[in-house]
Amino acid sequence: MTILAIGCTDSPERVSVSTKKADRRINHLIPIATYEQALSEASGSREQMIVESCQQLEGKRKTPAVTPETLQIMQEVLFESAAPKIRAAVAAGLGNTGSVISVPKLLDAMEDNALVTRQAAAAAVGKLMGWRDGFNAEDSPEVRAEAVEQFRERWLLFEGSDAYQLATDPEFRKRAGAIAEKRAKFMRRKERMNDGNKNSLHEESPKSKDELPPQRRPTAEELQRQFKLNQ
């Protein structure tokens, strides 16, 4: 069994990056007390280890790497556990993994019978996809079902887009990054060329050897002087 093992802070309510940013807080998907209650309700070592792993994912500024095997176990516990607090803890853990692959399972969990599980699943979907409007975990089952169905339709559109491949396929992400870098270089080169052309327009062009000086009208004195010379 592959279980996620990552470090955690002694103070779950607050994680500081530096002394200058010690006052910045991290929003948790579920309260720390929910994890503690979930641990007390764990029916075996498997559930206990998964809940502990999910709790360790909370409060991380950088999304940790989670293996596909661990994600699979988390999804299984999400629907196999009889304890709502455990299902809530696992839903939050899936949201903190940064893996959008779990979104369909979380959408199902948004229709869970337990309010705490629905709230955690909705918060996880909100973190993964940014979909926070349109669903209220305290609404009636009919209203919730309609809202979740709309979320599923949005997921189908997302699943068929390049954004899904960027989020789930490392090779596609690598190729897209290389293309973006080449395009950025081309745009920078084009910008430099445009700047060079603009500067050349402001420079004074040299006069041609055959170019005649501009003609001017002679003054009255010059005309009188010329008239006297001709007499």
Percentage of the chain beyond pLDDT 70 is: 73
Average confidence (pLDDT) over 109-128:
97
What is the structure's pLDDT at 189? 81
> 39 is in which domain, residue-wise?
25-172
Residue 211 lies in a domain: no
Residue 49 lies in a domain: yes
Q: At residue 145, does pLDDT exceed 70?
A: yes
> What pLDDT does residue 10 have?
35
- Smallest CA-to-CA distance from 87 within 44, 34, 138, 133 is with 34
118 — phi, psi (to 5°)? -60, -40
229 assigned to some structural domain: no
H helix intervals, 44-169: 45-57, 68-80, 84-97, 103-109, 115-129, 141-159, 162-168
The answer to whether position 18 is within a domain reads no
> Has residue 131 been placed in a domain?
yes
Is 138 within a domain? yes
Beta strands in 82-142 (DSSP E): none
Q: Is residue 225 part of a domain?
A: no
The distance in angstroms from the start CA to the end CA of the chain is: 122
pLDDT in tens, 29-87: 999 999 999 999 999 999 999 999 999 998 888 877 889 999 999 999 999 999 999 99
Contact 58, 96 (CB under 8 A): yes
More confident residue, 218 or 50: 50
Domains identified in the chain, total number: 1
d(CA 197, CA 116): 64
**How does residue 16 score in pLDDT terms, banded at 50, 70 and 90?**
very low
**Quick check: is 19 in a domain?**
no
